[in-house]
A = this chain, B = another copy of it.
Amino acid sequence: MCNRHHIAAEFRSLQDHICEAIEALDGGQKFQEDKWQRAEGGGGRTRIMSHGALIEKGGVNFSEVYGPVSDLMRKQLNLDGDEFYATGVSIVLHPHNPHVPIIHMNVRYFELNTGVYWFGGGIDLTPHYVVPEYATKFHQGLKGVCDQYNSSFYPKFKQWADDYFFIPHRNETRGIGGIFYDHLKADELISKEQLLDFSLDLGRLFPVVYKKQADAFRNLPFSDEEIAWRNYRRGRYVEFNLVYDRGTTFGLKTNGRTESILMSLPENASWIYNREHNEKEIDTLNQLKKGINWLG
């Protein structure tokens, strides 16, 4: 039965699997878990890694929350039920080495007491320095999973990510994109079970694609200048998450668990007025655009 309990159980296992894989990849540090409960119903397991060998700060969170639909939810999410249920896994990893990208993933399931439900999710990569060959590898990995379910998924969800992971006030994408999707329901082409499998396959892909990125760059030496650029780019990550990210802004406004939501923010970030960028930095900025076909 592909009901909420089954989906939440699968997402819990997914969190376990990803944490094990990221601990193995890090090689230095383990996740610390905080279990929390929500007064209105449900709770979660927040798992944070800090000061690992690879990861400076990262979180792999599971949550399962439910309760009455508030006025704010009704308005912002355009819902018509009285009771909601939501479960998902959310990840952000900020590595030490400026040559290793930041990565984010989220898979989620939402349902209302009216019987309406949907899946949503996304994965995107934010290199401090864009290396096209590795942007290609990342997109190929995502396309591989998408194509197993529907050949329209990758092109559609890739464009959706370009539009979603975008910082209008900077006219920049957050990174080299990835995929983003929302309101996915079963139809004549795909069942609810398959949509869950799609979410889980993306989740299982996550440590695999990130290992490719990390292993390629984690042993590169880096300078203070590169650390300064990393921190400056982390400032953009903070801007995106606090100003535009729907999960973050909605969570903060609906009495979500603040420390779990803001685990996505880096240990440090920097803002320099009208910063002058070097050639390599400008090269990256020139690739933070919508509509680039990274498959080559």
Contact = CB atoms under 8 A, between A and B. Distances in A.
A59 B272 CA distance: 12
Contacts of A273: 48, 50, 57, 59, 259, 263
Interface residues of A, number: 34
- Give how many copies assemble into the complex: 2
Contacts of A48: 273-274
Nearest to A169: B252
A78 B253 CA distance: 22
5 contacts: A59-B273, A168-B252, A169-B252, A266-B271, A268-B271
Interface in A245-296: 249, 252-253, 255-256, 258-259, 261-263, 265-274
B242 A238 contact: yes
A249 B170 CA distance: 13
A231 interface: yes
A272 B263 CA distance: 8
A239 interface: yes
Contacts of A169: 252-253, 255-256, 258, 261
Given A170-B258, A242-B239, A265 B271 contact: yes
Nearest to A273: B48
B274 A267 contact: no
A50 B271 CA distance: 11
A137 to B, nearest CB: 30
Interface of A: 34, 48, 50, 57, 59, 168-170, 231, 235, 238-239, 242-243, 249, 252-253, 255-256, 258-259, 261-263, 265-274
Given A169-B258, A242-B238, A243-B249, A231 B271 contact: no
A16 B48 CA distance: 48
Given A242-B238, A242-B242, A274 B252 contact: no
Nearest to A254: B169
A89 to B, nearest CB: 17
Contact of A271 (B34, B253, B267): B267
Nearest to A243: B242
Contacts of A266: 271
The 8 closest A-B CB pairs, nearest first, are: A242-B242, A265-B271, A169-B252, A268-B270, A48-B273, A169-B258, A242-B243, A259-B274
Given A238-B238, A266-B271, A267-B271, A252 B243 contact: yes
